Chain A
Amino acid sequence: MNFLSPQRVLEEFAATTSKLAQGFDALKQLDEVAVGVAPKQAVWKKDKVQLLQYVRETPATARTPILIVYALVNRHDMIDIQADRSFIRNLQAAGLDLYLVDWGYPTPEDRYFTMDEYINGYLDDAVDVIRARTGQPAITLMGICQGGTFSVIYSALHPQKVKNLVTLVTPIDFATPRDLLSKWAKHLDVDALVDAHGNVPGELLNAGFALLKPLLKTTKYVSILNAVDKPEQLLNFLRMEQWIADSPSQAGECFRQFVKELYQQNRLVKGTLELSGRPVRLANITMPLLNIYAQEDHLVPPEASIPLNDLVGSLDKSLTRFAGGHIGVFVGSRSQKELAPGIAHWLHERDT
């Protein structure tokens, strides 16, 4: 333990202070770091929700358009975090025509929006817009995390409009032993929370997510001090931090319903979930299904995603394990080479 000599102790403190000063200087010179910059255009808008189409330079090689449905929690920029780590650009490069629902940032006037209105309202509208624009009777729905849950529910209610269903890191079974969020949700008085706040603040959710890995923040900020003189590495870090901090509030009623009926009552797998008075039966999902989960996912453990394949009515269904965590599956270096090309290959095979 030579690092405990007085000389080394002082050197360590001097080095830390020096790095902090360098960090201060580097950060002072930076403006906002750009995320989610793949070219796109809004093709439809209702209230705060937009349908975006990613601009292609060449015609798509697959006929069926794809609608990406991201979670209401955090923003979709994570899948286009930077040019060389972009799930979006990789899907585009593989020949796909991409659309995305941008849920926007709910304000207090949106507190009464329900899960039904998000799924049977906005999402259904977005699907119809794409069907009309492309002339395709059914589209590919690609849901991520909570957006995956929404996509599954939508596919069960409107199977005729969904040609293929792709789910990524999607919670389906909300009562699995390693699921900390599920454990916490069981003891959450969501009525008290929503009644007090209206919309549930994004900061509150982020504080909860941080507790899932309580030492991660300290560790990563200590580590990044070693990269304050490496602009590319620092910028990569800052992009991810910016994405994490960009956490919209959750429309109160939708949050209440999601926590109560899914996290607390696990109605989706029990077959007791209803939207607009209609039962959500996973057996109604008969289109081809590609279900991808992340092996080291601490937010949506694999056991929460895997059961989907046993519950749907699809005959053509694939379950794919991907190394990495909830976010790493999209931004990791292996993902750039394998995830999007793999999905595109699966879709091309079914693009008849």
Chain B
Amino acid sequence: MEQTATFFDTWYNSTAKLVNDWREATEKLNGEQRNMWDEAGKMQQNWMSSFQSMMQNMQLPFMGGSGSSPFAHSGMQDAFFNMLKSTDVYTRLFQLWQPVLQAMQNNSFQSQDFWKLIDQQGFKTFVDKLFGFDAVTPVRTFMDQSTQMMKLWMSSATEASKNFGPMFSNGLPFFGSLTQLNPQSLTQWYMQMAQTAQRSMAPFWGSTDTGQIPSMQSVVEMMEQWGNYMAKMNQLQTMLYKHSVSAWEKVMQTMADKAKEGNVPTDFNQFYNEWSAINEAEFVALFNTDEYAALQGELIKLNSEMNKAYEKQMEVFLQPYPVVLRSQLDEVYKVNHELRGRINTLEKLVDELQKNKPENQAPQNQLEIKTPNAEEGKPGRKENK
């Protein structure tokens, strides 16, 4: 925690110096310097580089949830993280469009040169960041939750889990690779897990009906699902890239038309607002197509099936151990829910019977309102009236 706090404090304290340095450097620049754009570009690159480094440093403790944040409340932590991410997008956009806007400013812009002026890799990275493909948050969340679940299971296991526990911990670093959507890492991790599990659990597997072959079959099935998911995700990314290209060309045309009329934005924020309005309209139109909706639906389905397969796989590994599995808990919840419903029905019946006793019957002119029992926590549906 101290290390993280020091990191943040250092960053905060050094920022003022950085800003002052830039301002001093800016003052040194003057119109006679032929390489002033180069100088400015270098400083900008340095800024972006240090900014990226800070972003990367911050993501780890933020995601870990180990209490190492310098913020008093997680909401403030999230807010700052969102500020950083948004600034990242904003400044990347600035960087990508700068050559185009500069050419427009110098009256040297030709629309056919548009994509020659835009850094292609930077464009792809920008779209990835805008739609969250870089962080792959859902996968990370999925993996975090699974890890948490495994830890809970393992913490409640007996001596038999001693070999399995360290093996699982050793496997944890692979989650980092998984979040980069690397199927090879997933295979490797599962193979290691399966081999270690096989060694440590062989005696138990011998006494159960879930042996090695079914387990490996399910690994193969999951790998197939992962492959399908990745293929669909690629389709989605491609769709977003194509629409981004189209939206950016519309922005370019709008800006070029305005430049011809001498009606150009006076600051970058104005440009951003123009860019944002055009892009948002384009993407909302895309999201309202059956093609997009169908692809999104397929991705959610594949993700759900992967999630389920993963759970199933974990249960196969954990079945020999004296731990409660999620599927077993679900059964308990289901039975509890049915029992609570029946109790609720019976309570209503008792209430009706009590109300129908002669001494409890209300006079004709008295309002009769049935009141649920406030003390009893029974759920659910009443009988039809």
Contact = CB atoms under 8 A, between A and B. Distances in A.
Interface of A: 1-4, 6-7, 9-14, 16-18, 20-21, 23-25, 27-33, 43-47, 108-109, 111-114, 116-117, 120-122, 124-125, 128-129, 131-132, 135, 137, 178, 180, 183-184, 186-189, 192-193, 195-198, 203-204, 207, 211-222, 224-225, 238, 241-242, 245, 276-278
Contact of A245 (B75, B130, B311, B344): B75
A46 to B, nearest CB: 5
B212 to A, nearest CB: 26
A214 B305 contact: no
Contact of B304 (A1, A124, A189, A220): A189
A121 B83 contact: no
B213 interface: no
23 contacts: A1-B265, A3-B267, A4-B101, A10-B26, A14-B23, A20-B15, A21-B15, A27-B79, A31-B72, A43-B374, A46-B377, A47-B378, A122-B379, A122-B380, A183-B288, A184-B297, A188-B300, A196-B307, A207-B138, A212-B284, A215-B130, A219-B276, A222-B272
B371 A128 contact: yes
Interface residue tally of chain B, by bracket? 35 or more
Across the A-B interface, the 6 shortest Cβ-Cβ residue pairs: A187-B297, A221-B86, A6-B40, A196-B304, A21-B15, A112-B337
Nearest to B272: A222
Contact of B369 (A9, A33, A131, A207): A131
B369 to A, nearest CB: 5
Give chain B's interface secondary structure class: helix
Interface in B1-21: 8, 11-12, 15-16, 18-19
A264 to B, nearest CB: 11
A204 B102 CA distance: 41
B148 interface: no
Interface stretch (B157-165, B178-186, B326-334): B326-334
A219 B89 CA distance: 10
B384 A108 contact: no
Contacts of B296: 184, 187
A131 B22 CA distance: 68
A211 B300 CA distance: 14
B379 A113 contact: yes
A245 B78 contact: yes
Given A10-B29, A276-B384, 14 more contacts: A3-B266, A9-B98, A11-B22, A14-B18, A31-B72, A132-B371, A186-B293, A188-B297, A189-B300, A214-B279, A214-B280, A215-B279, A218-B85, A222-B86
Nearest to B50: A17
Contact of A31 (B70, B73, B267): B73
A242 B79 CA distance: 9
Contact of B377 (A43, A47, A128): A47
Contacts of B70: 28
Interface of B: 8, 11-12, 15-16, 18-19, 22-23, 25-26, 29, 36-37, 39-40, 43-44, 47, 51, 70-73, 75-80, 82-87, 89-91, 94, 98, 101-102, 104-105, 130-131, 137-138, 141, 264-269, 272-273, 276, 279-280, 283-284, 287-288, 290, 293-294, 296-298, 300-301, 304-305, 307-308, 311, 329-330, 333-334, 336-337, 341, 344, 367, 369-372, 374, 376-382, 384
Question: What DSSP secondary structure best describes chain A's contact surface?
Answer: helix
Nearest to B46: A13
Given A4-B101, A16-B91, A184-B297, A9 B86 contact: no
A187 B333 CA distance: 29
A117 B379 contact: yes
Contacts of B23: 10-11, 14
A17 B266 contact: no
B297 A1 contact: no
B80 A23 contact: yes
A46 B379 CA distance: 7
A45 B379 CA distance: 10
B29 A129 contact: no
Contact of A213 (B73, B273, B280): B280
Given A9-B40, A27-B71, A46-B372, A225 B334 contact: no
Given A18-B15, A31-B73, A121-B382, A221 B83 contact: yes
B374 A129 contact: yes
